[in-house]
Structure 1
């Protein structure tokens, strides 16, 4: 209706080749100076885009992110620890800043990027079918010296159906995240440093997360139990991806990794 009456919106049908390919297709078909990233399971505040653009202009930033809240009831939120809440996309930025770093930067789903950034660092990596392509792009931009920032004034809410707040889904998200982090680290750091990071993650799992999981289990602290499980699954996926990158012949797991793709979610969860 908007397209017919005002010509403000143009929809593009995807090619069925995954989320990252769809992002690049939309990017190729658009021609604006700025590109906003917004997911189909989000609701934006009325001034969301305005706040991102104003911040970009005021701070001379070429990549800007905002605040993302989870649209869940308080009862559901209280049953989730900080690890699981972040896993589901919660990003409660409280202050405006231009001091971004690899652990604090804009994320997809609430981000405004100047088109010149894509010209400088390239588009989204279509080899990343299990998520994380937004983080990969931002880290490449950061490495290239692109100015960026965060504003809590640009707010979106992530709509999460209650059936997705389950241990099975949390496990799937954790495996997906660990896989994508390992891939990004491999590209950024190379073989040696990624292998060292893998060993460190295994050590952290054995010496920190398993003991804390046992303590939480004894205390029946359900949010903490789920958080520790999520971190352990992340370490497992990171290790599996690292081994696969080391030798796809010896540790090839194409079938396993394909189940972590965005479009495979329902199949992996046993949904129709």
Structure 2
């Protein structure tokens, strides 16, 4: 048993050296030169009768042997360094995964806290995650005031936002309405397909030109408008903060009855100005 173990260790060492040599070809060349020097010095020492030559050749032999050992050690260590580098890369990847998981857990904790009093703000990248939670909590009322850029309403975006609303309409008879705020009437053409999607899903749609919000007395909103919002049931408020180009910047979720009432009044004023869009398509 000890002999087998020793043999396996030798084989393992040889394999490690070979793998290291494959990785570091310059070491292979140096090792070959030293091997030639060592072999040559031994042959010269054996065939020569001069003690000084014999001493010199054996000195060369032992020097070559020592340097060869160092080269082998470097080869093995270079291989180990490569393995350590690979291990470090794996540790770094794992660390990044842990960071991502930590962020997801933090977001999940925030989502759980949405049922409580107060407010929380999320980046635009978490829109669909937030949306799932809001749709899960929705009971019977969903009133949206939308000023987001028309280009943001892609088919995929629309499907992911409207599908859960349709489910609430079909199963729980939720009252779902959306008012689109537009810069001018030409924007309705850009939104035509999106409006059709809403109507197919049973969502009431209306529109109002933004200048009417600015011209109302008192003005309904400041100029320029940089947000949209949704009233959910009788307590939950979602404010969609926008960049200057009207693309989504962040989502703020508020559970505060007084703030909800304030936005509810704003919505009522907007609804009085909005023009309903009759449905030109049948529901699905």
Classify the TM-score, shorter chain.
under 0.3
Structure with greater proportional helix content:
2
Q: TM-score, normalised by structure 2?
A: 0.23
Which has a greater percent of strand? 2
